[in-house]
A and B are shown apart, each in its own frame.
Chain A
Amino acid sequence: MATIQQQQQRRDRIRLALLLTPGLLWLLLFFALPLVIIFLYSFMTNDALGRVVYEPTLNNYITIFTQSLYVNAYWRSIWTSVLTTVICLLIGYPLAVFIARSPQQWRMPLLMLILIPFWTNFLVRIYAWQIILANNGIINSFLEIIGIGRLTLLNTEGATLIGLIYGELPFMVLPLYAAIDRFDFTLMEAAADLGANKVQAFLRIMLPMTMPGIVAGSVLVFIPTLGQFVVSELLGGAKVDYLGNLIQRLFLRANPINWPLGSAMAVLMMLVLLVLIMMYFRVTSEEER
């Protein structure tokens, strides 16, 4: 006969199973399994109609590593993502300090003003820049009035960068604010009293103590930027290929479509991301010490 304790244990186990099963099933079936499939696809090939042919090969990876189209797309995406992340950090950090140091009654409204773009459709916010940068848009109209004349602003790589910074900035500011808000600014005074100058106090006290926010914000900005294709299409005019543009084309629009090659590109992108984030964690955790 089962004791009360055993009965209780069994009930607990059944309850746990009921809580876990729907979520686990969904994530395994509609998240993990699809990832396994594209991993397998990355070693397949395709026929002239774009159908996947189940013959194991390394050709997709060889193509990516040897053809400049693909190699360049990786470098371009990595470089642009690093640049976007760094600029967002340089803009976001002072802004987060400003919000955290504002009088109490101002902090919530100032934070709300960051939250609104955070919750607003990314595509719409990027599209807004098309209106501003268009050939007959407001900046060019203004330039014409003051006598400089029209410039090509839209469909440039600079426009892509502005769009990415604009789109991702809120994702940097929110975690930074969370970290800086917790930071005790009297520590800076203590450092100064002990003879540290402003730069030393910042580098040795504030920077390490707010590092979790920097790491979180950087990761949140870097990941979507690496795979983006909308910004370079809408603002960059799709003149140069970023990773996302190539993957999107290979899966949806190329003639013939090439899912195995696209899968290999996606798998490699995840790998790049993993390596870069691990390197970043290593550097920043040293900084924290």
Chain B
Amino acid sequence: MIKTAPATTASARIRGAFSEGRLTWSGLALTVFSILVYLFLYVPIVILVIFSFTRDEFGVRWTGFTFDWYIRLFNNPRMMGAAWNTLVVATVSTIVSTIIGTLLAMAMERYRFRGRNAIEGLIYLPIVVPEIVMAVALLAFSAIIFDVIRMVTGEVLRRNLATVTIGHIAFSISFVVVVVRTSLKNFDRRLEEAAADLGADSWNIFWRITFPLILPGIIGGALLAFTLSLDDFIISLFLSGPGTSLLPVEVYNRVRRAITPEINAISTLMLILSMALVALSQVLQRRR
């Protein structure tokens, strides 16, 4: 009896700490700590948004409300050009990487073949290689290709939106494969067998059965690819050429010199776009 007493009190204490809804000191401490972490995550973002409306020309103090920085932003051809470039690159990159990634996911999930493990490694490697390594490697590669083209055709090429897009596709494919594979794993293959028994050919089976059922996964992968491309800075910095810069690169170049409220404004807009994409992906997931 005496021996078991400490154990029961310890048990009660742990129960208190980990049980739902009951108020305990450790539970309270955890709650306060978590609220502080959420504040840490959100206060900077909120401040950024607030200071996109300040009159202060350095954009770090509140001196009154204005919309001027947004108006200036929309009248800045460089920024608008960069924003357009970013959308074009993200759209093309998303389409190509989603198609290629979905095909790869089908191959990896549905077939057993020689060299499968090696291919698996190749697919997941871009996720674990630091982006800067990928960026400098692609930069070196593009320089060699441009040299070869110059020697063969005499045409002098520069890095442009195409080189950036190729890079974005290269790292997006892997993420698309990961996302699409999960939806293929949860897929009930008996549905395909049933369709085959009823006389559907494989083309019809894919488009009528498989595709509609894995579509949420494909859309999820596409949204991730789109966000990755929109947000990418490192590969964009190394692979975009003169006059074809992307929004994050433009922001970086400006920020390195000085803080301006115009940057606060464009950052706020990028933030809103990201939030809209998260919301969209969540809505699509719910419908699954």
Q: Measuring CB to CB, which residues of chain A are less than 8 angstroms from any residue of chain B?
A: 12, 15-16, 18-20, 22-24, 26-28, 30-35, 37-38, 41, 91, 94-95, 97-99, 101-103, 112-117, 119-125, 127-132, 134, 136-138, 141, 166, 169-170, 185, 188-189, 191-198, 201, 219, 223-224, 226-227, 229-230, 233-234, 244, 247-248, 251-252, 259, 262-263, 266, 269-270, 273
Contacts and interface: CB of A to CB of B under 8 A. Distances in A.
B31 A98 contact: yes
A23 to B, nearest CB: 4
27 contacts: A20-B107, A22-B99, A31-B122, A31-B126, A37-B137, A38-B137, A115-B278, A116-B274, A116-B278, A119-B231, A120-B270, A121-B233, A121-B271, A124-B48, A125-B44, A127-B259, A131-B51, A131-B59, A137-B60, A166-B41, A170-B41, A195-B4, A233-B256, A252-B237, A270-B129, A270-B133, A273-B130
Interface stretch (B74-82, B165-173, B212-220): B165-173
Contacts of A230: 233-234, 252
B15 A227 contact: no
Contact of A134 (B60, B99, B123): B60
A246 to B, nearest CB: 10
B138 interface: yes
Nearest to A20: B107
Contacts of B19: 185
Contact of A31 (B42, B170, B277, B282): B170
A112 B282 contact: yes
A196 B17 CA distance: 15
Nearest to A165: B40
A237 to B, nearest CB: 10
Contacts of B234: 230
Interface in B104-161: 104, 106-107, 111, 113, 119, 122-123, 125-126, 128-134, 136-141, 144
A121 B100 contact: no
A71 B124 CA distance: 30
A117 B271 CA distance: 9
Contact of B38 (A18, A113, A259): A113
Contacts, number: 255
B116 to A, nearest CB: 10
Contacts of A41: 140
The listed residue with most B CB atoms (<10 A of its CB), out of A23, A35, A127, A263, is: A23
B225 interface: no
A31 B34 CA distance: 40
Nearest to A31: B170
B271 A124 contact: yes
A99 B166 CA distance: 39
Interface of B: 4, 6-8, 10-15, 17-21, 30-31, 33-34, 37-38, 40-45, 47-48, 51, 58-61, 99-101, 103-104, 106-107, 111, 113, 119, 122-123, 125-126, 128-134, 136-141, 144, 166-167, 169-171, 173, 177, 202, 227, 230-231, 233-234, 237-238, 248, 251-252, 255-256, 259, 263-264, 267, 270-271, 274-275, 277-278, 282
A18 B34 CA distance: 49
B44 A132 contact: yes
Contacts of B270: 120-121, 124
Contacts of A128: 44-45, 47-48, 267
A266 B37 contact: no
Contacts of B99: 22
A196 B107 contact: no
Nearest to A138: B47
Q: Considering the complex of A and B, which 5 residue pairs feature the smallest CB-CB distances, nearest first? A: A192-B11, A227-B130, A34-B137, A23-B104, A19-B107
